[in-house]
Amino acid sequence: MTNVKFPRKEFEKHIKLTKEVEEKISLFGTPLEKIDNEEIEIEVFPNRPDLISLHGFMRGFKTFLGNGSGLKKYDIKNPEKDFSVKVFPSVNKVRPFTVCAIVKGFNFDDEKIKEIIELQEKLHFTIGRNRKKVAIGIYPLGKIKLPIKYRALAKDKIKFVPLDAEKEMSGSEILRKHPKGKDYAHLLKDEERYPIFSDAGSSILSMPPIINSKETGKIDEKTKDVFVECSGSDFNTLSKTLNIVVTTLAEMGGQIYQVNLDYMGKKITTPDLTPDKMKISVDNANKVLGLKLKEKNLRGLLHRMGYDYKEGVVHVPPWRTDVLHEVDIIEDIAIAYGYDKLIPEIPNVSTIGEESTESKTMRKLAELFVGLGMLEIQTYHLVRKEDFDIVKAGEKIEVEDSRTDYRFLRTNLINNVLNVLSQNKDKDYPQKVFEVGTVFSRDNSGESETGIKETNNLIAAISPGNFTEIKQIVNYLFASFEIEFKLKEDVNSCLIDGRTAAIFLGDKKIGYFGEVHPRTLKAAGIKMPVAVLEMNSDIFIN
């Protein structure tokens, strides 16, 4: 989710903000988050990166509010002399694609420069997957000599002064020392050659996706014309991104020129602003939406969302990245129609509701314990390393890169319960608690999909409590479910020897109970005696 802020003053140069307009902003699919005298903040969903900048947003929103002028067309001029980029095979391994454009004739001011930089950053972050998939470079054309080369060079042979630096640095130095280099070093990890753009005078323009050169890599108020490149791993995404950038620049008053790309003999001209075409059927739209639209209505609604429509075919703006299927267009039809105008209707479909047997059993179990005057607790499924130190149980199953200390799946519930008792040692006694919850273990049978077995366990602890009291609970529990069980003497490192029982169902051990050893209690910081029962509770399911 991306939130973008527009200065209110700039916004109102396009549309005056009224209560009605504010409501329409949210109904356009860009929820209005905040509005005050200075700023207006909206949320742009990841499927619509074309709405991230003010000019991009206005292109869509004004059409939505207005009479629906359909697909916006831009004047795009053919490449002039030397408007070309040669792509070398050396980039294949590291960052294989680029698409480029030239845009001329701006009148930049502070606000516009800010808007472009923000657009660039937000696109990097969203559609660009943090520069991995797409990185965008914009250069003042006046400072570079066309044509351009895109190639990869040995990391130590690359030498230029990057933005925000004072002296020349090598490619590997930039990754080690430059702040941006450090941030994005992982994208070039293990590479020997780094990609660069260089001009006809052999100056390095940039080292994507890390940083531009200080000399040629920054636009300012004096910049009239720009060279734009997008580099990355997916040609299609790059093309869409370039389209978003150049049409936004055109919205600001620029004139788009194409650039010839030479991919080792294969010639491509970019940007390509030909609309995508997608079939749509009025029936399908009506079926999904529950409406009775005619083709005429449909056309009108499509125009309001910036599409063109001709005989069952929708022309999709070339800067839209999210239209994969007819349903994506149908959603836009609904937005144009107005979500607030869709009349709710519950179909007359009768079905019978039902609780699952598993959750029903767990609920009954909890009710028994509540009836015994016990408090239910709920603890985390993930536990810390030190939690295993109280009672060791089973092989650890660990998650990768947890952002907290909680990084192991619990293999029992007793550790959690002892933690709870320890944290409540200054609260009133007696303390009687229980929990029914999932525990995890390795499944070596090869039967499960994930290699991890999940069972529901039940834990009950009473403090102060003794063997008799916990055994009474066990007897009561099994009697309530009419299940026969057997006891055997058991040894458990955390319980007192001779006061520990294993519960058997047939010849399978399903749990244990007994008095917790003072050694364990002391280690857990508990000052009162505790009697405990832990067992598999799945056995109570029918």
Partner 1 sequence: MPKETEKLAEGLSPLERKIIPFLNLSPREIREKTKLDSTSLLRALKFLENKGALKIVVEKNRFVELGSNGAYYKKNRLPERRLLDVLGEKRTLGFDEAKSSSKLSDNEFKVSLGILKNRGLIEIKNGRIEMKSERSELTKQMFEEKFLEKLPLKEDELNDEEKSVFEKLKKRKDIVEVREKKIFTFILTELGKKVAGREFRNDFLEEVTPEIIKKWKKGKVFRKYDIYSDVPKISGGRKHFVSEAVEEGKRIWIELGFKEMSGKKVQTSFWNFDVLFTAQDHPVRELHDTFFIKDFKGKISDKKLLSKVKQAHESGVEGSKGWNYKWKEEEAKKVVLRTHTTCLSAKKLFELKKEELPAKFFAIGRNFRNETVDWSHGFEFNQTEGIVVDENANLRNLIGYLKNFAEKLGFKKIRIQPAYFPYTEPSLEGAVWNEEKKEWVEVLAAGIFRPEVTAPLLGEPIPVLAWGPGFDRLMMMANKINDMRKIYENDLKYLRNRRAG
Q: Are strands 452-463 and 382-383 parallel, antiparallel or unpaired?
A: unpaired
Q: At what angle do helices 295-304 and 326-337 cross, to 10 degrees?
A: 90
Q: How far apart are CA 210 and CA 194, in angstroms?
A: 10
With respect to partner 1, which residue has the nearer C-beta, 153 or 280?
A: 280
Minimal distance, residue 462 CB to partner 1, in Å: 12
**Which of these, 534, 513, 530, lies nearest to 456 by C-alpha position?**
534
Q: How far apart are CA 208 and CA 229, in angstroms?
A: 10
Minimal distance, residue 263 CB to partner 1, in Å: 18
Q: How far apart are CA 134 and CA 122, in angstroms?
A: 11
With respect to partner 1, which residue has the nearer C-beta, 46 or 253?
A: 46
With respect to partner 1, which residue has the nearer C-beta, 259 or 316?
A: 316
With respect to partner 1, which residue has the nearer C-beta, 2 or 203?
A: 2
Minimal distance, residue 399 CB to partner 1, in Å: 4
| CB-based burial label for 224 (10 Å; 0-12, 13-18, 19+) | middle
With respect to partner 1, which residue has the nearer C-beta, 269 or 424?
A: 424
Minimal distance, residue 486 CB to partner 1, in Å: 28
Half-sphere exposure in the Cβ direction for 465 (13 Å, CA): 28
Minimal distance, residue 395 CB to partner 1, in Å: 11
| Six-digit token string for 377 | 């607790």
Sequence-separated (6 or more) residues with CB below 8 Å from residue 524: 390, 418, 419, 421, 422
| Six-digit token string for 231 | 């580099």
Give 114-180 as a DSSP string.
HHHHHHHHHHHHTTTTTTTSEEEEEEEGGGS-SSEEEEEEETTT-EE-BTT-SS-EEHHHHHHHSHH
| CB-based burial label for 161 (10 Å; 0-12, 13-18, 19+) | middle
Sequence-separated (6 or more) residues with CB below 8 Å from residue 501: 471, 487, 488, 489, 490, 512, 513, 514
Minimal distance, residue 476 CB to partner 1, in Å: 13
Q: Where do we find the tokens 């697909």?
A: 71
With respect to partner 1, which residue has the nearer C-beta, 451 or 498?
A: 451
| CB-based burial label for 184 (10 Å; 0-12, 13-18, 19+) | buried
Minimal distance, residue 298 CB to partner 1, in Å: 15
With respect to partner 1, which residue has the nearer C-beta, 386 or 497?
A: 386
With respect to partner 1, which residue has the nearer C-beta, 26 or 170?
A: 26
| Six-digit token string for 264 | 């080792």
CB 11 within 8 A of CB 53: no
Minimal distance, residue 2 CB to partner 1, in Å: 11
Minimal distance, residue 415 CB to partner 1, in Å: 13
Minimal distance, residue 215 CB to partner 1, in Å: 34
Q: How far apart are CA 219 and CA 249, in angstroms?
A: 13
**Which of these, 213, 89, 225, lies nearest to 146 by C-alpha position?**
225
With respect to partner 1, which residue has the nearer C-beta, 91 or 329?
A: 329
Minimal distance, residue 180 CB to partner 1, in Å: 20
With respect to partner 1, which residue has the nearer C-beta, 43 or 192?
A: 43
Minimal distance, residue 521 CB to partner 1, in Å: 17
Cβ atoms < 10 Å from Cβ of 299: 19
With respect to partner 1, which residue has the nearer C-beta, 433 or 532?
A: 433
Q: Where do we find the tokens 């030479």?
A: 262
Peptide bond into 344 cis (omega under 30): no
With respect to partner 1, which residue has the nearer C-beta, 21 or 146?
A: 21
